[in-house]
Structure 1
Amino acid sequence: MAMFVHLTSAANAPRIRRSGIRAAGHGQGSVRGVYCFPVLPSYTLTHQWLRELARFGSRGGLVAVHVRLDDTEDVLVGRYTDRAREAQAAESVRRIAGLEDPRGWEVFVPRAIRPREVHRIRTAPQVVGWRYLPDAHGVRPCTCFGCRVRGGYGARRLRERLPHPLDGPPPPVAVLLARVEAGDPGDPAALRDALHWFGMRRRGPVDRLKRLAAHPDPGVREELVWAVARWSTLGVAELLDGLADDPHPDVREAVEAVRDPE
């Protein structure tokens, strides 16, 4: 039997003891499952993902759930930056144990873990492992929109100290609205640039921007879709409903992409 460890919030421990580990909603592509890592002789390597997972919050800290799987269980194994490969559970352990540097590797079980497969649950020190990526210590952090974590500790100060040339920090809303409302219909390039910055916000003035849904430039209408897609502001759904019937295919495809990312 192959032994793996799954790291999760301590608040989930009672449910896991009772009914096992449920399959994650976001796994490998459209496949739901459970992420874990082989139990290796090195305690630090076994629990290497702990500090990285702790960055995203947990209730009561993280616990280590030890799981036993049949050696012939089909799993996916690979480094988080690469495409995972199919393997059997025992083979995935041998493959990772034989690496010179197994940091960043993971095993994905494409199903839920049953209660009888849970070997034990124990507390784990909250200071083990790497953060952001292996060997990140001493490397200048990236503040681009794709790398930064919204709401992370010190994230705003970091963006202000190391502004990214393309991704912020964005200009104030009043400045962006002045650019949007300058002229009718306005310069398409300036409007797309303003919408690019609006897209980095969590909320925004939907009522002030919805007139751009009728802009003659399809590039502006498409950028409007990407700008409001992640907003929690009321009126976004109705705005996207209207853009879903846009005469230009690029705009319709953008709406479809933001509503069904997988």
Structure 2
Amino acid sequence: MAMFVHLTSAANAPRIRRSGIRAASHGQGGARGVYCFPVLPSYTLTHQWLRELARFGTRGGLVAVHVRLADAQPVLVGRYGDRARGAQATVPASEAVRRIAVLEDPRGWEVFVPRAVRPGEVHRVRAAPQVAGWRYLPDAHGVRPCTCFGCRVRGGYGARRLRERLPHPLDGPPPPARVLLARVAAAGEPGDPAALREALHWFGMRRRGPLAQLGHLAGHPDPGVREELVWAVSRWSTPGVTELLDALADDPHPDVREAVEAVRAE
């Protein structure tokens, strides 16, 4: 039998003891299952994902769930980045343990069980220290953090100060709303498309925005401006966004209609 550790919120512990671990995570190829890591002689390596998972919020801290799987149980094994490339290998659970155990540096590796874990396979649930492991990625300490829109964690501790200290040339922090509205006004009527798209790009990084002052751009003759308007307002919590997207869903240009479909599918 192969032994693995699954890290989860302490609030899930009673349910896991009663009915096992649900197949709630998505793995390579869209499969649903459970992420875990082999129990190695090194306590730190076994629990290396603790600090990274804690960044995304927990209920009552994290607990370590020890799971026993049959040696022949098929699992996916590989580094975290291999998942997106479809490069994780399907191997028996015992082979996954062997592959990771012989690595000189197994940090960033993971095992994915493509099914739920049954109650009888849960060996024990115990508290886990919240200080073991790496954050962001192995060896991230001392590396200049990236503040691009794709890398940063919105609402993370110190995120705003970090963006102000290390502004990204394309991804902010964005200028104040009054400055952006002045640029929209200065673009003229109906407005220079390049200037309007740039202003809308910055507006798209805000959680709320001046919809009343920008709604008229839904009728701009340039479809690129209308498409950028869709992306800008899609994440706003401002009242009226749904109605604006409803109107743009019937736009005569296919790029605008496809943009509306894409933001509603997220």
Q: Does the alignment reach a TM-score above 0.5?
A: yes
Confirm or deny: 8 A CA contact 2:25 2:35 kept in the other structure: no
Moved more, 85-94 or 146-155: 85-94
1:123 aligns with 2:127: yes
Give the fraction of aligned pairs with identical amino acids, expressed as a percent.
85
Q: Give the match for residue 255 of structure 2.
A: 250
Q: Could you tell me how far apart the structure 2 residues matched to 1:26 and 1:184 are?
A: 47
Superimposed CA distance per residue, residues 191-248 of structure 1 (whole angstroms, 9 cap, x where no aligned partner): 1111111111122223332222221111111111221222223322222222222222
Matched residues, number: 261
Superimposed CA distance per residue, residues 117-170 of structure 1 (whole angstroms, 9 cap, x where no aligned partner): 211111111110001110011111111111111111111111111111111111
Q: Which runs of 5+ in 2 are unaligned?
A: none
**Pairwise mapping of residues 184-223 of structure 1 onto structure 2 (< 5 A)?**
184-223=189-228
| TM-score, structure 2 normalization | 0.92
Q: Give the match for residue 138 of structure 1.
A: 142
**Pairwise mapping of residues 1-262 of structure 1 onto structure 2 (< 5 A)?**
1-24=1-24, 26-83=26-83, 84-182=88-186, 183-261=188-266
- Kindly report structure 1 stretches of 4+ aligned residues shifted beyond 4 Å: none
The CA RMSD over aligned residues, in Å, is: 1.6
Q: Could you tell me how far apart the structure 2 residues matched to 1:21 and 1:210 are?
A: 47
Moved more, 183-192 or 18-27: 18-27
Q: Could you tell me how far apart the structure 2 residues matched to 1:255 and 1:224 are?
A: 10
Task: After TM superposition, give the deviation of residue 47 of structure 1 in Å.
Answer: 0.5
CA shift in 2, pair 1:207/1:101, >3 Å: same
For 2:42, give the aligned amino acid.
S
| TM-score, structure 1 normalization | 0.93
Task: After TM superposition, give the deviation of residue 178 of structure 1 in Å.
Answer: 2.0
Moved more, 123-132 or 196-205: 196-205
Task: After TM superposition, give the deviation of residue 29 of structure 1 in Å.
Answer: 4.6
For 1:6, give the aligned amino acid.
H
CA shift in 2, pair 1:103/1:233, >3 Å: same
Q: Could you tell me how far apart the structure 1 residues matched to 2:78 and 2:229 are?
A: 37
